Amino acid sequence: MTQPKNPVPALRLSGLEKSFGPMKIIRGIDLDIPAGERHAVIGPNGAGKSTLFHLISGHYQPSGGSVRLHGDDITGMPPQLIARRGLSRSFQVTNLFPQLTVWENVRCATLWALGYKYSFWRNVERLADARQRTEEILREINLIERWNMPAGVLAYAEQRALEIGLAIASNANTLLLDEPMAGMSHGETEHMVELIRKVSENRTLLMIEHDMGVVFDLADRISVLVYGEVIASDTPERIKANASVQQAYLGTEVA
């Protein structure tokens, strides 16, 4: 990044730990993610990547350590409170209302973000701010032409784009994406990369991804997680050249 970095990182993980019974799954992670960075977490199956996301988003309670979002301690807060503070997560499993239209799905998230209580929702078509914001988001995620289709009949890649739309509709400034390219064709992957690049232009992005082409194309910085520890956190070029990363994980994949 060419701009000076904000001294308060968007995310700061300090001594983060998670055990399940006697099994230490996350073993003391220290990691700063500056605001505006696109950061990828890679690592072998079972390394603890999803667990790490669960800890950051509040879906799991850490066994030790802390999570700070823009300097505020959010450790152990419930997911909905963390989301209210601007951190939004999209899941590997789909999180949409399939019978509602694309428009209605985004509008729900928009209404929530604008602070409307459920009692307002029956006059929802009159809420100009919600309408305008919904339209903006559908344009941003390239689904404006699908606005009137039930979410359940969209193509898989479009459903994933809509999930990203729901995340940004909630006014998120920090996005956690868990394997956004999973199950996509080559063409769909290319579109998703462009979409993620666009929506992360003015947001902080943390993503788990197995597609190394995508990771090395999108990320400003990459952290490599092996057995619950970050063994390296650096630029794509340095990660590629890092001997211990090669040995532990990448092998010949990106050599």
Does position 89 interact with ligand ATP (CB under 6 A)? The reply is no
Residue of the chain from 31, 39, 50, 205 that contacts ligand ATP (CB under 6 A): 50
d(CA 39, CA 205): 6
Which member of 15, 20, 197, 247 binds ligand ATP (CB under 6 A)?
A: 20
Among 2, 3, 45, 80, binds ligand ATP (CB under 6 A): 45
Choose which of 9, 34, 36, 48 interacts with ligand ATP (CB under 6 A): 48
Q: Which among 198, 87, 81 has a CA at the least distance from the CA of 136?
A: 198
* CB atoms near residue 218 (< 10 Å): 24
* Residue (63 or 142) nearer to ligand ATP, CB: 63
In the complex with ligand ATP, the residue whose CB is nearer, 25 or 169, is 25
Residues 218 and 204: their CA atoms lie apart, in Å, by 12
Taking the least distance from each CB to ligand ATP, the nearer of 52 and 141 is 52
Q: Select from 82, 51, 109, 76 the least CA-distant residue to 175.
A: 82
Q: In the bound complex, what is the minimum distance in angstroms from residue 185's beta carbon to ligand ATP? A: 21
Q: Does 57 bind ligand ATP (CB under 6 A)?
A: no
Q: Which is nearer to ligand ATP, 154 or 218 (CB)?
A: 218
Length, in residues, of the chain = 255
**Alpha-helical regions (H) of the chain:** 49-57, 79-84, 102-114, 128-140, 156-169, 186-199, 212-218, 236-241, 243-245
Residue 40 CB neighbour total at 10 angstroms: 24
51 vs 200 by CB, closer to ligand ATP: 51
User: Residue numbers of the site for ligand ATP (CB under 6 A)?
Assistant: 20, 25, 43, 45-51
